[in-house]
Amino acid sequence: MILFFYIIALILGLLVGIISGLTPGIHVNVIASLMVALYSSASLNGELSLPICLFIVIVSITHTFFDYIPSLFLGVPTDEIYALLPGHQLTKEGQGGEALKLSIEGSWRGLVIAFTCAVFCTLLTVIGINPLAWAEDIVKPILVWILLIISCTLILTDTNFIWAIILFLLSGVFGIIILGTPLVAGGSSSAFNVILPVLSGLFGISGLLQALSEETTKLPPQSKNVKLKISDVQINKASLIGTFCGIVVGLLPGLGAANAAALTLLFTANKEGASSSRLYIVTTSAIQSADTVFGIAALYFIEKSRSGASVAIGSMMGEINAFQTLLFLIGMFGAGLLSRNLLLKTWQIFISIINHLNHRALTLAVIMFIGTLVLTSTGFWGLTVLIAGTCLGLLPPMVGVRRTQLMGFFLVPTMLFFSGFQDSFVTLFSLQAQVSPSSPIAFSQVCIFLIISFTVAIVSYFIQCDSGSHQ
C-alpha cells in the first residue's frame, strides 16, 4: 500500500512542479508551506509523512527544470541591462530553444553529479564516516568570515556598491526584526510562517510588479532546429563547477543559488565570445539543481535545514535516516530524468501555451493569489510583512544593483549568530523569545484558504483579459 503512495507522490510531484515552474512568482516554499499546513491540520497517519515529504522533494527538483521557461519567454524586457542576461540575449536572437536546452543539460548534469556525491556520502555514513559533518566542524569556527567575505565580494563588485551596502544592511535589519518579533504567530516555525510573506515580497511579487512596469518587446520567431554551439566537454566542465558551487551554498547557512549565480556571473561576464554566455546558463542551472539536492540532504548529513523544502520535511519527520535520504535522492533523480526527457520532447508545446496566455493578466493573477493566500493564512501582519518585503524588493532595480543583495535578510542574522554577539544583540533590543504561539490550523481552513486564493486569482485573470480586450 505504501508503494502506491510513493507512486502518487511521484506523479503529483511532477505535475505540481511543472505548474509551479511555469508560473512566475510561485516558489517551492509556497508549496512546502501548504503541505506542512495540510499535514498538520488533517492529522494524517504518521506513515504518510514520508510520501508527503517525497512529494515535496520531487516538486523541488521538477521546479528547477521548468522555471527557466517563463524567465525566457514571458516577455523579454527592452532595457539593455536585461538584454545582457545570457538567456534573454539568446532569446532575442531567436535562439531561445538553445538557451532552454542548455539550461536543461546544466540542470540534469548538475543533478547527476550532486546525486552521485550525495549517495556516496550517504553510504559512507552507514559505516560511520560522515565527511560533510567533519567538514562542517572545520568550517564552523570561521564560517562568519566566509560569509562576510562572500557578502563583501558581492557588494563591492556591484555597479553601485554604496546602494548595495545600504540594501544589504537594510534587508539584514528587516531580517532581524521579522525573525525576532511576534508579528506573525509561530514565527518561522509554524505551518504558514513568516518566511512565506517575506520571500514572496522580496523576490516574488516585487519581480512581478517590475515585469508589469517594464516595456517588453514581442519575441522573435524561435528556431526549431536546436543545435548547441558549445562542446560536450565544455558543458560537463561548466556543470561540474556549478555543482560544486551548488553543494557549497546548499550546505552553508544564509546563502542561496542566487548568490552563487551572481559570483559566477562576475567571472564570466567579461569573457569574450558567445560561449561564455552559454556556459553561464549551464553553470547557473547546475547550481540550482545541486543546491536543491544538498539543501535537502543537509537535513541528514549535518542535521540542519538549508531550504524551505528541508524545513518542511524536518517539521513533519524530525530527523531523517540513511534509508529516507536515499529514497529522497532516488526520487529527485527519477523526477529529474522524467523532467529532462519531457522538456526535450515537448518544449515547443510549453512555449506555445505560454505565448497564448495573457502575460499581464497571468502576472496580476499570481500577485492576487499570493496576496490573498498570505492575508488569509497569516493575517494582517503577514500582509504587512508582504508589503514591506515587496517595497524593499522593488529598490534594487530602481537603484541599479543586484536583487541578491536582499539575501542580507538571511546573511546578517546568520553572521550575527555565528559571531557570538547574538545574545547581547537580542537582549539589547529585547528580541529574545518574542515569538507568539500559533493556533492550530484545521484541514478545512487550509482548503478554504486555497479555494479563496485560487478564486481571486482566476477572477483577476479574466477581468484583466476582458479589460485588455476593450482597450
Residue 80 belongs to what H/E stretch?
helix 80-83
Higher local confidence (pLDDT), 444 or 82: 444
Average pLDDT over residues 308-325: 87
Distance of CA 430 to the CA centre of its chain: 32
Quick check: 406 pLDDT over 70?
Answer: yes
Lowest mean pLDDT segment, chosen from 173-182, 199-208, 404-413: 173-182
Q: Across-strand partners of 216? A: 77
Q: What is the average pLDDT score of the chain?
A: 82
Instruction: Report pLDDT for 431.
Output: 61
Residue 77 belongs to what H/E stretch?
strand 76-77
Residue 217 belongs to what H/E stretch?
strand 216-217
Average pLDDT over residues 444-449: 78
Model pLDDT for residues 259-309, shown as the tens digit of each residue: 887 777 666 655 545 567 788 889 989 999 999 999 999 999 988 887 878
Instruction: Report pLDDT for 182.
Output: 60
Instruction: Report pLDDT for 436.
Output: 47
Reported confidence tier of residue 451, pLDDT bands at 50, 70, 90: confident
Higher local confidence (pLDDT), 338 or 77: 338
Quick check: 412 pLDDT over 60?
Answer: yes
Lowest mean pLDDT segment, chosen from 19-23, 79-83, 267-271, 423-427: 79-83
Higher local confidence (pLDDT), 202 or 307: 202
| Residue closest to 77 by CA, chosen among 285, 449, 359 | 359
Helix, strand, or coil here: 255?
Answer: coil
Reported confidence tier of residue 324, pLDDT bands at 50, 70, 90: very high
Reported confidence tier of residue 319, pLDDT bands at 50, 70, 90: confident
Reported confidence tier of residue 254, pLDDT bands at 50, 70, 90: confident
Average pLDDT over residues 122-150: 90
Model pLDDT for residues 211-237, shown as the tens digit of each residue: 777 656 566 777 777 788 888 999 999
**DSSP codes of every residue in 338-389:** HHHHHHHHHHHHHHHHHHHS-HHHHHHHHHHHHHHHHHHHHHHHHHHHHHHH
Lowest mean pLDDT segment, chosen from 32-46, 100-114, 163-177, 200-214: 32-46
Share of the chain above pLDDT 90, in %: 30
